[in-house]
Structures are given as C-alpha cells and as structure tokens.
Chains A and B, each alone.
Chain A
C-alpha cells in the first residue's frame, strides 16, 4: 500500500502568463506553497519550510508536486502543432473533490441537462455505444468513438451537429478531451481540465484549450468555456458525498458512465485516493 501515490504526481499551480516576482500563495494537497518567478525569470515553487519543489512549465501553466514525480508532465502532442490557438481560461475554485471535477468532465450524459442548448438539448439525450479502455503502455484511461448531438458544439459552430469526442485521463486530476473541430474537419479541438487539489474536498480548476479557430476573438473563446464550466460548478458543489466514492469491490456499469467506471478502476489500481472515499456498496 502506498497512501501517498498522488503526492508524486504533477499538479497545475498557476498561469505562467500571470506570474511575477511577487508570486502567489496557494495550497497543494493541504500544504501551503508559494509560486513565483525567480531572478532569472524562471518559475519557482517553494513549500512552507522553504523546501524547493519540482517545477515544470507546460501548456500555459506552472506544474509542481509535493513528492518526486517519476515522469515529466504528461504529453499533449497537439500543444506543439502549428496553427492552433492556446487559450488560458483562468482559474475557478470549486468546493468539491478534485476527482469529482474530473469525473464530471468525463460524463457526456449530463450535457442536455446542464449545458442545455449549448452542448446538448432534449430530446437528444441518448449516448450511443462507445469504447473505453485503460491503455497499459501509456497508463491512461481512454474513451473513443463517443458521438453526441450538439446544438452549439463550439464558439465556431453555427447550428447543431453530431460531434465526436475522445477522452483521456493521463494523470489523476487531469483530463484532456478531443472533439470534432467545426472549421477543420479531420482535426480535433483539444480542451483540457487541469485540476489543482487544495484539499480532499476543494480544488482550483484551470481549463485550457488548443483550438483551430482563427476568427473568434480570444475573449469570446474564454467566455464560452467559462460559461460551460460555471454550469458544471453549481452541479459539482451540490454533489453528495463531497468525496468520490470508490467501491473496493465491483461496480455494475451502465452504458453512459463507462468512462467513469474505468476512471475509478484506474484510480484504485494506482492507489490514487486523495479526494476519494472508500466504501463498500
């Protein structure tokens, strides 16, 4: 057993573009930390005792860890693809478990009810069959061939379309989704949710996007994504229990939440339990 499995993972702790020498005080898994620029303009993260913590700057954000990450921050190859626009959506605090924030992001069945007339609409509530797997080599959860009818799939969409999605969980509190890109068929828009665990029941969520869209002003892209995420926030804050229940035994999967079942199984397998509640049902 390793209770601290999540300590050795990377977490977002700030936007690089907003960092200055003064820095920002924040919290990582209950521990106060400080994120600032050093004299050379590099990001520096220190713990309460002055201990220098691991640091990495990827995807517009500063990443750190209380432990010793064994791998670099997970790859998002699209972040190096020319022609994309990268959007720092900005932080939103949510009173929920960091794991619940990720699980909600993976669940497509809530679209018509929570993101009504944007990402879903009644009566188009049916989620068709899709594929879920834990990819052993990458050690990631993947859901593919997820198809869903959407009234306004993106800021760049004009009218309803059937969107295809892929979801990835490359780290316990991060998820990356790929969705059909209205202006560029054949490519995928990338929308990521990077979650900073403050406590087991409190998190700062840093959404980030890498889009093919040369026309929409940046502020409109930010507002579109913040609108979506704020709709989720009011749902997330009302979930009971606050922690994500992990059943040490078997679950009975339903089709709509197969990804969630795989995510929970993967968390259990790695002992990623910060923000979880182990319960036999």
Chain B
C-alpha cells in the first residue's frame, strides 16, 4: 500500500496515524508539496485530478479522500475502528467524517496561509475554524454527558482520527485551543493511545511519563 505523503500535511498524517494504530505498514512516497508544488505536477495530477494529497494506492484501488483511506485501513486491519454497526453510531461516524472537511477548509486553510504564505482571507478562515471548533466542543461535551469519551461512542473510531489533526494544529494557523476544555481532554485521550505517532506540532504526551521524584538531598 503506497501513500503519496507530505510530512507537514495533516491530511496525510491522518492516514499515517490510522496505519500506525491499526498495524498496517505503508510504503511512503514523499511528495515535494512545498516549495516544489509537486502535487500539481503531471504525475500526481494524473493520479488525482483534484490536485490534493494524500493519495493512497493499493493495487488498482486509488483513493484521493482521506476519509475513504481511514475506512479502508480500518476495514482491512482493525474493524473495531469502524464502530459497532449500531445505526446511531454509524450515523455519528459519517456525520463527523463529513464534518472533518470543514476543519480542513477552515483551520487547514488558515494554517497554510500563516505558515506557508498561501493566499487567502485569513479572517474568514479563522472565523470558520472557530465556528467548527465550537461545534466540535459542544459535540464532545454532549458525548461526555452520555458517558462517551469519543465522537461516536466510548472508543475511538475513524471519525476521531479524521477530526483530530487539523484541530490539534489549529494554533499553527493562529487559532487558540484554550477555550475548549473538552477538545483538550479528547486530544489527550487520543495522544495516549498505544502506537500513537507524532507529527511536527503534535507532540507525544510527555505528561504521561513517570512522575519525577524529589532529589534525594532535597527530601
């Protein structure tokens, strides 16, 4: 399975993260997204006329939407990440998978603008990002009231992986996460999963290391 990948792309990271969590080995094909704009070059445009990455290739299956890639990886190697199949849970998963595109457009757009000088209306991108974060905070809070720590149920699903990266990287685009306590708890829960992997700007949980002991001569 080959992933056309850019290290700084949150959408590509979704796929790398899902693969790591489900124990799938990916063949990484690095794409010079910045500064080379290789994703707009003839080779990649032939694979994905949409001109975006990630692209996942497995035999003659070519996927250009990260949500589909998450579904594929889970179905192949870790079906529990697709939820129980209960109607409401299935609906919530689909709801948040679709919602994740709003995060890409808003918070992702703000990040490209602020970090890689991509033209755009930064005020509108940030305002849309904040509106999406408020909706996510409310959704996660309601889930908590139902006794669920994650977006669709009490265990993580592909919906959480689809939403997590752009949210965690919101500060890169000048959008603070300080106002969203439930999002921060959810982010911690995801970052503490076994086999979690990092990307630049998304750190492992240093807080989960053993507590430092007092120095013997201070005690």
Residues of A within 8 A of B (CB): 15, 18, 88-93, 95, 116, 204, 217-220, 222-223, 226-227, 230-231, 233-234, 237
Contacts and interface: CB of A to CB of B under 8 A. Distances in A.
Interface string B111-124: 00011110000000
A219 B31 contact: yes
Contacts of B201: 230-231, 233-234
Contacts of A116: 204
A227 B7 contact: yes
Contacts of A93: 114-117
B51 interface: no
B39 to A, nearest CB: 12
A148 B174 CA distance: 34
Listed residue (B8, B115, B200) with the most chain A CB atoms within 10 angstroms of its CB: B200
A88 B37 CA distance: 13
Interface string B14-54: 00000000000000001110111010000000000000000
A128 B31 CA distance: 38
A88 B35 contact: yes
B116 A92 contact: yes
B35 A91 contact: yes
A226 B34 CA distance: 9
27 contacts: A89-B35, A90-B35, A90-B36, A91-B35, A91-B117, A93-B116, A93-B117, A95-B114, A95-B174, A116-B204, A217-B30, A219-B30, A219-B32, A220-B30, A222-B32, A226-B7, A226-B34, A226-B200, A227-B7, A227-B8, A230-B201, A231-B200, A233-B200, A234-B172, A234-B200, A234-B201, A237-B171
A213 to B, nearest CB: 15
B150 interface: no
8 nearest A-B residue pairs (beta carbon): A90-B35, A230-B200, A219-B32, A219-B30, A223-B7, A231-B200, A234-B201, A90-B34
Contacts of B8: 223, 226-227, 230
B117 A204 contact: yes
B: contact size bracket: 20 to 34
B81 interface: no
Interface string B148-178: 0000000000000000000000011010000
Given A95-B174, A227-B8, 14 more contacts: A18-B35, A90-B116, A91-B35, A92-B115, A92-B116, A93-B114, A93-B115, A204-B117, A219-B32, A227-B200, A233-B115, A233-B172, A234-B201, A237-B171
Nearest to A26: B117
Nearest to B30: A219
Contacts of B35: 15, 18, 88-91, 222
A237 B32 CA distance: 25
Contacts of A222: 32, 35-36
Interface string B174-186: 1000000000000
Contacts of A95: 114, 174
A254 to B, nearest CB: 19
B6 interface: yes
A186 to B, nearest CB: 30
Contacts of B31: 219
A234 B171 contact: yes
Given A226-B7, A227-B200, A219 B115 contact: no
A204 B8 CA distance: 17
Contacts of A90: 34-36, 116
A47 to B, nearest CB: 20
A230 B8 CA distance: 8
Contacts of A92: 115-116
A257 to B, nearest CB: 22
A218 B31 CA distance: 10
A92 B32 CA distance: 15
Nearest to A24: B117
Contacts of A226: 7-8, 34, 200
Contacts of A231: 200-201
Contacts of A91: 35, 116-117
B163 to A, nearest CB: 20
Contacts of B200: 226-227, 230-231, 233-234
Nearest to A222: B32
